[in-house]
Amino acid sequence: MKNNGNGKKVLNFLGNNSVPILFILICIVCIPVSGFSPSYLINEIVTRMGRNIFLILCLLIPIMAGMGLNFGMTLGAMAAELALILVSDWQIWGIPGVVLAMILSIPFSILLGALCGKILNMAKGREMITSYIISFFMNGVYQLIVLYMMGPIIPIKHTTVKLPRGYGIRNSVDLFHMRQCLDNLMAVRIGGVKVPVLTFLLIGLLCLFIIWFRKTKLGQDMRAVGQDMDVARDAGINVERTRIISIVMSTVLAGFGMVIYLQNMGNIATYSSHSQIGMFCIAALLVGGASVDKASIGNVFLGVILFHTMFIVAPKAGAIITGDSMIGEYFRVFVSYAVITIALIMYETKKRKARSRAGQQLQLAQQEEEAAANE
């Protein structure tokens, strides 16, 4: 009996963590095949952790408020890019440039986040598809600003930033003088692995903030709103406002995260940097074992490590196995989308299961009673 219980527990554990386990298996298979040296791998993963974790952490807050995966985090990324373009045009480099870009991104993020939150309040119950479409819509507006308004309306001076035609921003804005300035400050080398201590400190700070935030009144309200909007409203919580705040916070943090991300990359792909970022962050979070309605800081760290290990080794492993280097590239894209698809399906089926389980329990109780009555 006890054994059986344990067996069930193991099965449950496997079932609940199927996605991370699957990824561990993929990594176990692909790492030796790819033939990368451990020090190279660790170096890459540490770099990518520094680059991505801050961005992914910003997804936790809307999940707490029951608004699902915030596909609208792209808005924060756009805000950060706008800020960085301006900062690099003003030729403010190094740490001051990074700090200024972060500060400058805040008003943009608040504006975009509040707008996004307002729209999502009008589309309750289908937040995810709506935030997804908002990110597309805003991408159009972003292009309008960057491609046409920067130059004639918003003054841009430097030719390294501006397109030769006289207005609009180049496809790629070089952040050479800002490149990895956060990462290099206080960086430590441990056995050939460069650890960007300052970046990790910032990430640690954000983690502490999130843990602390859960214990605040606002955090408590968000959790309440996330679980049952009607009950929260009956208790006097301003549901709409709380939801907007959660999106604004997420957007602002995404803006900071994007500045960290771009200073590590060393250049802005003006028209594409933000477009995939939401998808990759969400995929990484889900790989770490998070679901649409539940995610923890642990999920973020595990997700980044697993997802990016796969990302690094898949092309090489794919090339060695199939002889075609593109296969691995496509494979990792496919995996990212498939993970999100599976997570969404599991979330929806779980919702339905919860409903039907209530019915089954009732039925069972009746049958028992009936049996008792018949005896």
- Pick between residue 90 and residue 347 the one whose CB is nearest to other proteins: 347
Q: Does 141 bind other proteins (CB under 8 A)?
A: yes
Query: Residues 2, 3, 189, 217: which binds other proteins (CB under 8 A)?
Result: 217
Q: Does 345 bind other proteins (CB under 8 A)?
A: yes
- Pick between residue 41 and residue 313 the one whose CB is nearest to other proteins: 313
Rounded CA gap, 59 and 286, in Å? 11
CB of 214 to other proteins, least distance (A): 9
SS3 56: helix
Per the CB < 8 A criterion, the answer to whether 122 and 59 are in contact is no
Q: Does 337 bind other proteins (CB under 8 A)?
A: yes
Query: Residues 17, 43, 143, 276: which binds other proteins (CB under 8 A)?
Result: 143
- Pick between residue 190 and residue 354 the one whose CB is nearest to other proteins: 354
Rounded CA gap, 243 and 61, in Å? 10
What residues contact 116, with CB distance under 8 A and at least 6 apart?
Answer: 72, 75, 131, 134, 138, 247, 251
Rounded CA gap, 169 and 100, in Å? 20
Burial class of residue 269 (count of CB atoms within 10 Å of its CB; 0-12, 13-18, 19+): middle
Rounded CA gap, 220 and 143, in Å? 38
Query: Residues 28, 144, 186, 208: which binds other proteins (CB under 8 A)?
Result: 144
Paired tokens of 235: 């208790």
Rounded CA gap, 143 and 17, in Å? 40
- Site residues (CB under 8 A) for other proteins, limited to 249-308: none
SS3 158: coil
Number of Cβ atoms within 10 Å of the Cβ of 159: 10
Query: Residues 137, 158, 208, 211: which binds other proteins (CB under 8 A)?
Result: 137
Determine the distance from the C-alpha atom of residue 233 to the mean position of all C-alpha atoms in its chain, rounded to a whole number. 29
Query: Residues 13, 40, 148, 176: which binds other proteins (CB under 8 A)?
Result: 148
Query: Residues 77, 128, 259, 287: which binds other proteins (CB under 8 A)?
Result: 128
Q: Does 114 bind other proteins (CB under 8 A)?
A: no
Smallest CA-to-CA distance from 309 within 52, 56, 38, 31 is with: 31
Q: Does 232 bind other proteins (CB under 8 A)?
A: yes
Q: Does 352 bind other proteins (CB under 8 A)?
A: yes
CB of 176 to other proteins, least distance (A): 29
Q: Which residues bind other proteins (CB under 8 A)?
A: 119, 122-126, 128-130, 132-134, 136-137, 139-141, 143-144, 147-148, 212, 215-218, 220-221, 223-224, 227-228, 230-232, 234-237, 322, 324, 326-327, 330-331, 333-334, 336-338, 340-341, 344-345, 347-349, 351-352, 359, 362-363, 366-367, 369-370, 373
